[in-house]
Chain A
Amino acid sequence: MTDSPLVPAIEVQGLGKRFSDNGQAVINDLSFSVAADSSLCLLGPSGCGKTTLLRLLMGLEEPSSGVIRITPALAKQMSYVFQEPRLVPWRTCLENVLLPLELTRGKNEASRAYALDLLQRLGLDERLQHFPGELSGGMQMRVALARALVTRPGIVLLDEPFAALDERTRFRMQDLLLELKSRLQLQYVFVTHSISEAVYLGDQILLLDGEGRARDWRGIDFAERNQQLKLTPSFNAIVQSYSQLFSEMENSNTASSRSGERP
């Protein structure tokens, strides 16, 4: 049942976003849909509107044009992971994870037990009473993940969450995300500017160009994903093709900016 279920989880049509009336569009006429059980990676050069698109999906920004349709059941339970862990410094690890429950008045014995369970799965059970300032960057990000998952979301939106981590930690976090995805039947939209990360984590990849237009849309199908996969020729072929697209975009960008130079 992996290919095209009848109702897509997310459907975007003719989406556009500009921040002021005469400003340049950050997102330009985007249309795509995400199947109910697949995860999407948004890939593109920096400043191409990936974060804006994520914020639009979350409802943190209003679209200037077009529509976003998200299955109501999923729309109600979306959560968001920022580029940085963004933990509350005076709350302990556990209290940070419980924060969404407190704010949505969903804190009770069962949800607390679930929070503890999540923290244990993320290997943080010995750090419950530690403050964020006492944790490493990778641990802080795991706390942020637990906080995003504690409300049992259907979709998690992640905005380059692992970009600031060192490589080994980043790889571990990628595997952790894949594991959570299969265990919790989680769906995610993952923003990244790393090609290999996108190919590794995405069932589908949407490549945006510098003007916030869709440049490429494709499904990625691997039977199994683990770090060894990154060494296989088929994986590298996909990465290679994206590198090519990236350099094409860069070339056309410099060309257009040259022709558009102001006197």
Chain B
Amino acid sequence: MIDPLKAWLVEKYPAWIFLAVLLSTWEWVVAQEWVASYLLPSPTQIFQTTLELWPEIYAATLSTANSIAWGLGWSAVSGVTLALLFFAIPIVRRAVLPFCIFFQTVPIISIAPLLVIWFGFGQPTVRASAFIVSLFPILANTLTGLQETDAHLKGLFRLYRPSPWQLIFKLQIPSAIPYILTGIKISAGLAVIGAIVGEFIAGGGLGSLIDAARTQQRVDLVFSGVVMSSVLALLLVFIIEVASRLLLRGRPYLRKL
């Protein structure tokens, strides 16, 4: 794990330099008082606020992370299950999939109030919101993966007259694995959005921290909430990458598309 990390740091060093330039310019612009610090706090000020209010921020981050993990976890399980169901029973797919596509076009922000009515204020609504937005990409990607099994390999399997179960477990699911992983990665970013939106409306976590800081004109605190939510998203993608590598170690050809 060390060497890829080192290689990554070396490969990405222009990005780190650019980040340093960006932050110091920002710091300098605020120090020159070209922008009012209550509109744009300096990076150091944001950092200080984060340190001062760390217990609150940490608790809020944990709560959001919990909702994201719950929402994403269940969409992974149900997305893959639904895709398998749609794949195995085409008539169900033809009946239900159009509505899934329609449902997915409804913006989460417009459903969120409905979720509050059904699940009340607090975490259940936030989890549901994260779940809803992250379900479809996993479902759609898994279904694509199952349907796009290599025709030549299918021809090979047919020689041995396999049962439908053998086809699904030995051919179609393995070929869908890279697609499932891609779907989960896309959904990870969406689950963060879903959770924060849910929290804006139902309360709790980073969403309500940001919202409360806004009403109190604490722009520095808004910024630390924003930074923490993107740290969460990055961490999530990192965890997914590491977990998929661990799960599929020794099987590099299952991770490739």
Q: Could you list which residues of chain A lie within 8 angstroms of chain B, going by C-beta atoms?
A: 58, 60, 79-80, 82, 84, 86, 88-90, 99-100, 102-104, 131, 133
Contact = CB atoms under 8 A, between A and B. Distances in A.
Contact of A131 (B157, B158, B253): B253
A86 B254 contact: no
Interface stretch (B12-20, B159-167, B195-203, B224-232): B159-167
28 contacts: A58-B159, A60-B158, A60-B159, A79-B159, A80-B159, A82-B152, A82-B156, A84-B152, A86-B152, A86-B153, A86-B155, A86-B156, A88-B156, A88-B171, A88-B174, A90-B174, A90-B251, A90-B254, A99-B160, A100-B160, A102-B166, A103-B157, A103-B161, A103-B162, A103-B166, A103-B170, A104-B160, A131-B253
A107 to B, nearest CB: 12
Contacts of A58: 159
B55 interface: no
Nearest to A90: B253
Contacts, number: 39
Contacts of B253: 89-90, 131, 133
A133 B156 CA distance: 18
Contacts of A100: 159-160
Contacts of A131: 252-253
Interface residues of B, number: 18
A183 to B, nearest CB: 23
Contacts of A103: 157, 160-162, 166, 170
A86 B157 CA distance: 10
Given A89-B253, A102-B170, A103-B170, 19 more contacts: A80-B159, A82-B152, A86-B152, A86-B153, A86-B156, A88-B153, A88-B156, A88-B171, A88-B174, A90-B174, A90-B251, A90-B253, A90-B254, A99-B160, A99-B170, A100-B159, A102-B166, A103-B166, A104-B160
Interface string B20-34: 000000000000000
A90 B145 CA distance: 15
A104 B158 CA distance: 11
Interface in B204-257: 251-254
Contacts of B159: 58, 60, 79-80, 100
A84 B162 CA distance: 21
Interface in B124-174: 152-153, 155-162, 166, 170-171, 174
Interface string B68-112: 000000000000000000000000000000000000000000000
B248 to A, nearest CB: 9
Contacts of A133: 253
B23 to A, nearest CB: 43
Interface of B: 152-153, 155-162, 166, 170-171, 174, 251-254
A257 to B, nearest CB: 32
Contacts of B153: 86, 88
Contacts of A86: 152-153, 155-156
Contacts of B158: 60
A79 B158 CA distance: 12
Nearest to B174: A90
A164 to B, nearest CB: 14
Nearest to B256: A89
A151 to B, nearest CB: 8
Contacts of B166: 102-103
Contacts of A88: 153, 156, 171, 174
Nearest to B158: A60
Nearest to B157: A103
Nearest to A104: B160
Contacts of B171: 88
Nearest to A101: B160
Nearest to B167: A103
A114 B206 CA distance: 61
B143 to A, nearest CB: 20
Nearest to A148: B159
Contacts of A79: 159
Contacts of A89: 253
A30 B191 CA distance: 63
A118 B174 CA distance: 26
A132 to B, nearest CB: 8
A36 B74 CA distance: 60
A70 B161 CA distance: 19
Contacts of A82: 152, 155-156
A104 to B, nearest CB: 5
Nearest to B254: A90
A133 B254 CA distance: 12
Contacts of A102: 166, 170
A41 B226 CA distance: 71
